[in-house]
Amino acid sequence: MIPEQHHTHHPALSFWEHLIIMGRGAGQVFFQENALTGLFFIIAIFVAAYHEGNWGVGIGGLTGLVLSTYTAILLKFDRDLVKAGLMGFNGILVGCALPTFLNPSLTMWIYLIVASVAVVVIQGFCMSILRRFSLPSSTWPFVLTGWIFMLAAYHFSALSITGLPSARLYTITHLNKAAYNILFMHIDHPFHDIALQFLHITFLNIAQAFLLNYWLSGVIIVIGLLMNTRVGTLLAIMGSMIAILIARIGYLSDTAMLDGLYGFSATLTAMAIGCVFIPWSRWSFCYAICATIFTVILNAAMVTLLSPVGIPPFTGPYVLSMWIFLAAWSARAIKD
């Protein structure tokens, strides 16, 4: 005889509550359970979409956010997780990623819908595995989903790939020394040029967390962050600036550095370690600096690793660094 199952019945959510959940879902990309902050992030996405002439990024982001959230509701994921926006932020990232790397078509939109649903299932899988280690899944479901669907896109003739790096063994690209000289205080350039370039890349790094190639979107994201967390905002900016300095010290690819591709994972790591998963303190601040530096190095390593298959690391460097440093932090209490 099958035992009787008892289900907890929750009252239906109002339209306003649905909107708040969507806002929180966008906000959770930067760990913010704040619908107004999330609204600023959504505005930032559409500003970049307008600037780049690719409205698919904005529409795709919203589609991914809505579909992943309602998929989680239909699959009866924990109601508190859904209400906090924690089942929507991976969806919005997937929704931004696919139109960035694939040309718009009916097939692409069907592909995006499938990916937005799949990311919820993958998130559930990641959560069930990682809870054993007391580690958050964070954006890892987005990374896995992005990799799977980007790799598969090479085999679907109906999908036209536009922005993925060509599959090749990684080689060092020619450095634009002029760009580095302007950015890093070469004596031949006035200070205001240096400051403007530095600020431009600082905000671009932050915008690239949503795969947005527009510095003004980074400014809007920072404003949204500032409305909910001053410490988190400072850590995000710090992480971005550290990434720029490490890129200069190591003379990393100038194109990637100037496009903000070495900074967005570092920005997320600085926040995650500095005040989100470890309580804010002077020790967590120092630890966050170490984690951020490591993230930039890991980012370079993952670019080398993934170049032969022609896919980007997405936020993989952030997630792996976050796991490593959180596990090490917890291990302090372990006795051999």
Tell whether 164 is covered by a domain: no
Q: Same domain, yes or no, for 326 and 191?
A: yes
One DSSP character per residue, 70-117 reads HHHHHTT--HHHHHTTTTTHHHHHHHHHHHHHB---HHHHHHHHHHHH
Residues 147 and 203 in one domain: no
Range of the structural domain that residue 295 is part of: 177-331
The answer to whether residues 95 and 47 belong to one domain is: yes
Residues 100 and 188 in one domain: no
Is 6 a domain residue? no
240: amino acid identity, one letter: S
Specify the pLDDT at position 249: 82
**Same domain assignment for residues 320 and 208:** yes
The pLDDT, as a whole number, for residue 261 is 72
Backbone dihedral region for residue 334 (phi beyond 0: left; psi -120 to 50: alpha; all else: beta)? beta
Considering the domain architecture, whether residues 116 and 213 belong to the same structural domain is answered as no
- With H, G, I as helix, E, B as strand and everything else as coil, classify residue 161: strand
| CATH assignment of the domain containing 101 | 1.10.3430.10
User: Which regions in the chain score pLDDT beneath 70?
Assistant: 1-11, 163, 165-192, 251-260, 333-336
Residue 169 forms part of a structural domain: no
Provide the β-strand partners of residue 102: 161
143 and 191 in a single domain? The answer is: no
pTM of the predicted model, to two decimals?
A: 0.89
Residues 131 and 187 in one domain: no
Instruction: Point out which residues pair with 161 in neighbouring strands.
Output: 102
In a domain, 88, yes or no: yes
Query: Which pLDDT score, from 0 to 100, does residue 166 have?
Result: 64
Which of 274, 264, 257 is CA-nearest to residue 96?
Answer: 264
Could you give the CA distance from residue 30 to residue 203 in angstroms, rounded to a whole number?
14
| Residue 170 belongs to a domain | no
- In the numeric block, which tokens belong to residue 81? 């997780």
DSSP string, 228-281: T-HHHHHHHHHHHHHHHHHHHHHT--HHHHHTTTTTHHHHHHHHIIIIISS--S
Select from 153, 169, 188 the last residue of a domain: 153
DSSP sequence for 138-153? TTHHHHHHHHHHHHHH
Are residues 189 and 287 located together in one domain of the fold?
yes
Q: Which residue has the tokens 């300095």?
A: 245
Q: Is residue 172 part of a domain?
A: no
Dihedral, CA atoms, 41, 42, 44, 50, nearest 10 degrees? 170
> Could you give the CA distance from residue 204 to residue 186 in angstroms, rounded to a whole number?
22
Count of the separate structural domains present in the chain: 2
- Choosing from 153, 185, 218, the residue where a domain stops is 153
162 C-beta neighbours (distance < 10 Å), count: 12
Q: Are residues 117 and 211 in the same domain?
A: no
Give the residue among 291, 316, 290 at the shortest CA–CA distance from 303: 316
Instruction: Give me the residues paired with residue 167 across strands.
Output: none
User: Is residue 83 in a domain?
Assistant: yes
Task: Indicate whether 194 and 135 sit together in one domain.
Answer: no
Q: Are residues 108 and 22 in the same domain?
A: yes
Cα dihedral 48, 123, 84, 138, rounded to 10, equals -70
Residue 158 located in a structural domain: no
Which pLDDT score, from 0 to 100, does residue 15 have? 84
Question: How confident is the model at residue 248, as a pLDDT?
Answer: 81
